[in-house]
Amino acid sequence: MTDEMWINMGPQHPFNHGLWNLRVKLKGETITAAEPIIGYLHRGWEKMVENRAYPQIVPLADRLCYGSSLSWNHLYCLTAERLFGVEAPDRAKYIRVAALEMQRITSHLTWLMAVGTDLGSYTIMTWSIRERELFLDLLCKLSGARMTYNYCRIGGVRNDLPENYERDVNRTLDEFDRRLRDLEALMDENEPFLMRTLGIGKMDGRTAMNLGLTGPILRASGVDMDLRKLDPYEAYADMKFEVCTHTDGDVYARYRVRMDEMRESMKIIRQALAEAPAGPVRVKVPRCPPKGNVVCRVEDPRGESLMYMVSDGTERPYRLKVRSPNFVNLSASPPMLVGFKISDVPAIMGVMDMCIGETDR
Amino acid sequence: MATLYTVLTDFTQWLMDLIAAILDWTKLGILSDLGDWLQSAPVVDFVTTLLVAVIYLITVMMFALCFIWQERKFLGRFMDRRGTQVGVLGFFQNFADGIKVVLKEHIVPKDSDHALFEMAIFTYLASTFMLFGCIPFSDNFYVIDVNLAVLLGIAIFAFGPFSILVGGWASNNKYTLIGGMRAAAQLIALEIPLLLCVVSVVVLTGDLSFVGIVAWQEENIWLIFPLCIGALTFFIAAIGESERIPFDLPEAEAELVEGWATEYGDIRWGLQMASDYFRAYILCALFTMLFLGGWAGPEFIWAEAWFLAKTFIVFFFFIWVRAATVRIRTDQILKLGWRRLLPLAVINLLIAVALKVAEVF
């Protein structure tokens, strides 16, 4: 045990959520080097969409991430709208904001579930999966699907809100508010959970920015960067909400940021549904966009996701490049891991919210 | 009064007489002598003891299986789900699992140390089964009641880490190696506080046999009241000794797949898994006997029923702890064992000595 040794944690390992490999070099139980290896789930998504017409890509964009398919679906539609030079109607924008925030909550609850299993508490897992079900039901009512919604369209959304939707959503949010308090009590007042998370995987804001981290992990290091505020898209400019930050930059801070974000999302959902103006939800768009290129970025639940689209004037995109927040966050894992114990790997990597679908594309 | 033992002795005597009669009928001198030998008192005694041991083993294993069932059901309730559903109240799931693991292929890793690999799991299970013999159900239903039963039980218990270490090493796998090392470190760190708590009980009761300790408590007071610190320390150490969450580091599945037992398959793995519950049962039984007055209780039901009821209640608290907490790190367990539990156990021992010197009881 005195020699250093490499340990493969993956591609088949209980701690991987998705198919990837984390190699860690151990001295005793302390990590001296780490190397994430990805690519097991590469489907050639970016190449594949070059042979599809623009509307055909919408359902494919869902498949980029199983945890938050709507945010990718929306990002594609938003990018395509800018390329086509159309704008979604106001009502569609508000509906999109509400749906996106519900998606953010389900995504964060999926993340919480993964953190629970990684740390060994199946109660956290089942409880967060239970709460997620509330929002899956709402999204199912809205779009007709539970996981891959295929809800956004280029130029709006597929359908208007169902009957009494705002009432249902508000009831669910009231219920979820209570349950979220239970969930927080399960972790914040739990000494073993604090022992596992406080002071682990520390990263200061400057390093995090230099490594290109985005999203909750960056905000947990005290950097106030949220594209919903900095570069508002859809109806976010009209929404009143706080950007959740934390100064510690450890695993607990990252956990805290995501929990706070769920509360902010609840606020946004209520506002968006209350303030949604009447009107159409979809506009007609031409078959082929003009020549040109466009870039668009949004705040995914995991960080900044970006699409760069080039059109050559035909009905198919010439090039579509995806920037996955997780791809960048994952490459920052070695500096987070080195110096900590192998037991900290699930805590550090679990709280990162891995999604291999969008990382490998 | 016809106890189980006298019934079994009569049965064995009858069986041996029958065999001897048959052998006598053959009129061969050597077989008649064999028949006479079979009828002799030592042989009858030996066979009776074997029968008692088998009956006892089956009884205890059935109750230990109830532990698995209890955990599945209660853990389900804690997690807001139903738990296992196979058969009457889900009780048959254990048998289904048992049949499944029996039917699996026996795989030995190619580069492992074959002899040690097979031996380690055997000694681990053997030590668990030997422990069953040390645990009486009541002053009428036990296998052995030697004067040093407490010491014997603890000594057999201490054999476990050795098997785990050997098994982890012999499997020739990095996960099992780390798991084995952790198990050894953790069990030793928690065994000493555990032992000191037992010593305090022994000091106060002046007896090293479980029957004597329970009789003392029946006469005076349940020891959980004067030795509440010791009971708490014993409880925490017992959770660690049975390798349950939050102390299930040796098989932390998020880091080490299945810990030291990663390479074991088929019934060996099944029994190893069940062995965790057998050991949990034994520790709960120890807690019941040392602190909760064992089988003492109002006599409207059997003493054995009191004993089992108390054991199941103690295990309920084990399940509660598991449902509420996350897994903690190795270094934290060692710190807890040496810096917190050990001083508490020493304080508890001092209290016991003071009570003994002051002749309170």
Neighbours of B353 (CB within 10 A): 14
Extents of the domains making up chain B: 1-103, 113-358
- Torsion over CA of A116, A120, A122 and A128, rounded to 10 degrees? 0
Region for residue A294 given its phi and psi (left: phi exceeds 0; alpha: psi -120 to 50; beta: otherwise): beta
Neighbours of A204 (CB within 10 A): 13
Mean pLDDT on A81-89: 88
Asked whether residue A235 carries a pLDDT value surpassing 80, the answer given is yes
Write down the mean pLDDT value for chain A. Answer: 87
- This prediction has a pTM of 0.85
Asked if A123 lies within 8 A of B78 by C-beta distance, the reply is: yes
A338 vs B: CB within 8 A: no
Closest Cα in chain B to A27: B178
pLDDT of residue B140: 72
Measured between CA atoms, how close is A312 to chain B, in angstroms? Answer: 48
**Can you give the pLDDT of all 361 residues of chain B as single tens digits?**
456 778 888 888 888 888 878 877 777 777 777 777 777 778 878 888 888 888 888 888 888 788 888 888 888 888 888 888 887 888 888 888 888 888 988 888 888 888 888 888 888 888 888 888 778 877 777 777 777 888 888 888 888 888 888 888 888 888 888 888 888 888 888 888 888 888 888 888 888 888 888 888 888 888 888 888 888 999 998 888 888 878 887 776 667 777 788 888 888 888 888 888 888 888 888 898 888 887 877 777 777 888 888 888 999 999 999 888 888 888 888 888 888 888 998 998 898 888 888 877 7
Is residue A105 very low, low, confident or very high in pLDDT (cuts 50, 70, 90)? Answer: very high
Alpha-carbon span A105 to B231, nearest angstrom: 43
- The sign of the CA dihedral A60, A229, A232, A313 is negative
Asked whether residue A225 carries a pLDDT value surpassing 80, the answer given is yes
Name the domain count of chain A. Answer: 1
Alpha-carbon span A108 to A112, nearest angstrom: 6
- Pairing, β A156-157 against β A292-300: unpaired
CA distances from B287 to A134, B149, B192, B308 (A): 43, 15, 16, 12
Asked if B323 lies within 8 A of A123 by C-beta distance, the reply is: yes
pLDDT of residue B1: 40
Backbone angles phi, psi at B169, to 5 degrees: -70, -45
A352 vs B: CB within 8 A: no
Burial class (CB in 10 A: 0-12, 13-18, 19+), A209: middle
**Cβ contacts (< 8 Å) between B179 and chain A: which residues?**
none
A23: which strand partners? A8, A35
Query: Tens of pLDDT along A255-268?
Result: 999 999 999 999 99
* Closest listed residue to residue B244, CA positions, set B61, B63, B71: B71
**Nearest neighbour of B326 by CB, restricted to A7, A15, A121:** A121
Backbone angles phi, psi at B278, to 5 degrees: -60, -45
**Nearest neighbour of B255 by CB, restricted to A117, A121, A345:** A345
pLDDT of residue A21: 87
Mean pLDDT on A7-11: 82
The CATH number assigned to the domain holding A316 equals: 1.10.645.10
Is residue A106 very low, low, confident or very high in pLDDT (cuts 50, 70, 90)? Answer: very high
* Parent domain of A32: 4-359
- B67 Cβ contact list (under 8 Å, min separation 6): B277, B280, B281, B284, B312, B315
Measured between CA atoms, how close is B320 to chain A, in angstroms? Answer: 11
